[in-house]
Amino acid sequence: MSQFIASPATTLSGDLKVPGDKSISHRSIMLGSLANGITKISGFLEGEDALSTLKAFQAMGVKIERDGDNVTIHGVGINGLKKPEKALDLGNSGTSMRLMSGILAAQAFDCELIGDESLSKRPMGRVIDPLTLMGAVISSVDGKPPLKITGGQTLKGIHYDLPIASAQVKSCILLAGLYAQGQTCISEPATTRDHTERMLKGLGYEVRVNHNQICLTGASALTATQIQVPSDISSAAFFMVAACIAPQADVTLLGVNINPTRTGVINILQLMGANLTLSNQREIGGELLADIRVVSSKLKGIDIPQALVPLAIDEFPAVFIAASCARGETVLTGASELRVKESDRIQVMADGLSILGIENQVLDDGIKIQGGEFKRPTAIIESDHDHRISMAFAIASLRCEYPITINGVDNVMTSFPNFVELANSAGMRIVEV
Ligand code: S3P
The rounded Å distance from CA 194 to ligand 1 centre is: 10
Q: Which of 375, 378, 401, 390 is nearest to 423 (CA)?
A: 390
Mention every residue, 6+ apart, whose C-beta is less than 8 A from residue 389: 317, 343, 345, 348, 349, 352, 383
Predicted confidence at residue 375, as pLDDT, reads 84
Residues 169 and 285 in one domain: no
- CATH code, domain carrying 51: 3.65.10.10
State how far Cα 382 lies from the chain centre: 21
Rounded Cα distance, 46 and 162, in Å = 31
The rounded Å distance from CA 25 to ligand 1 centre is: 13
The rounded Å distance from CA 57 to ligand 1 centre is: 20
Q: Which whole number is the average pLDDT over 390-404? A: 97
Q: What 8-state DSSP symbol labels residue 153?
A: P
Residues 48 and 187 in one domain: yes
Residues 79 and 44 in one domain: yes
Predicted confidence at residue 298, as pLDDT, reads 98
The Cα angle at residue 131 between residues 126 and 136, in degrees rounded to 5: 140
Q: For a ligand 1 pocket test, name from 24, 25, 53, 95 the mutation site with the most ligand atoms within 8 angstroms of its C-beta.
A: 95
Handedness of CA 122, 125, 130, 134 (dihedral sign): positive
Predicted confidence at residue 167, as pLDDT, reads 98
The answer to whether 342 touches 385, Cβ cutoff 8 Å, is: yes
Residues 104 and 238 in one domain: no
Tally of structural domains, the chain:
2
- The pLDDT of residue 376 is above 90: no
Give the tens place of pLDDT for each residue, 89-113.
Answer: 999 999 999 999 999 999 999 999 9
Rounded Cα distance, 18 and 16, in Å = 6
Alpha-carbon Rg for the chain in angstroms: 21
Residues 73 and 10 in one domain: no
The answer to whether 311 touches 292, Cβ cutoff 8 Å, is: no
Q: Containing domain of residue 359, as a range?
A: 3-20+230-432
| Residue that finishes a domain, picked among 188, 207, 226 | 226
Residues 272 and 173 in one domain: no
Residues 393 and 272 in one domain: yes
Give the tens place of pLDDT for each residue, 122-159.
Answer: 999 999 999 999 999 999 999 999 999 999 999 999 99
| Residue that finishes a domain, picked among 226, 255, 285 | 226
Residues 168 and 111 in one domain: yes
How many helices (H) and strands (E) the chain has is answered by 13, 23
Q: Which whole number is the average pLDDT over 377-397? A: 96
Residues 86 and 124 in one domain: yes
Q: Which whole number is the average pLDDT over 391-418? A: 97
Residues 62 and 101 in one domain: yes
Rounded Cα distance, 377 and 401, in Å = 8
The rounded Å distance from CA 327 to ligand 1 centre is: 30
Identify the band that residue 285 occupies on the pLDDT scale cut at 50, 70 and 90.
Answer: confident
Give the tens place of pLDDT for each residue, 166-187.
Answer: 999 999 999 999 999 999 999 9
Q: Is 192 in the pocket of ligand 1 (CB under 6 A)?
A: yes
Q: For a ligand 1 pocket test, name from 23, 52, 319 the mutation site with the most ligand atoms within 8 angstroms of its C-beta.
A: 23
Predicted confidence at residue 212, as pLDDT, reads 97
- The pLDDT of residue 1 is above 80: no
Q: How high does pLDDT run on average in the chain?
A: 97
- The pLDDT of residue 378 is above 90: no
Residues 15 and 30 in one domain: no
Pairing between β-strand 63-67 and β-strand 137-141 as defined by DSSP bridges: unpaired
| Residue that finishes a domain, picked among 226, 255, 278 | 226
Pairing between β-strand 11-16 and β-strand 248-257 as defined by DSSP bridges: parallel
Residues 132 and 236 in one domain: no
pTM for the model stands at: 0.98
Q: Is 167 in the pocket of ligand 1 (CB under 6 A)?
A: yes
Q: For a ligand 1 pocket test, name from 48, 168, 344 the mutation site with the most ligand atoms within 8 angstroms of its C-beta.
A: 168
Predicted confidence at residue 377, as pLDDT, reads 76
Q: Which whole number is the average pLDDT over 319-331? A: 98
Which residues does the annotation mark as catalytic?
A: 314
Q: Which whole number is the average pLDDT over 423-433? A: 98
Identify the band that residue 404 occupies on the pLDDT scale cut at 50, 70 and 90.
Answer: very high
Q: Is 23 in the pocket of ligand 1 (CB under 6 A)?
A: yes
Give the tens place of pLDDT for each residue, 236-273.
Answer: 999 999 999 999 999 999 999 999 999 999 999 999 99
Rounded Cα distance, 143 and 339, in Å = 16
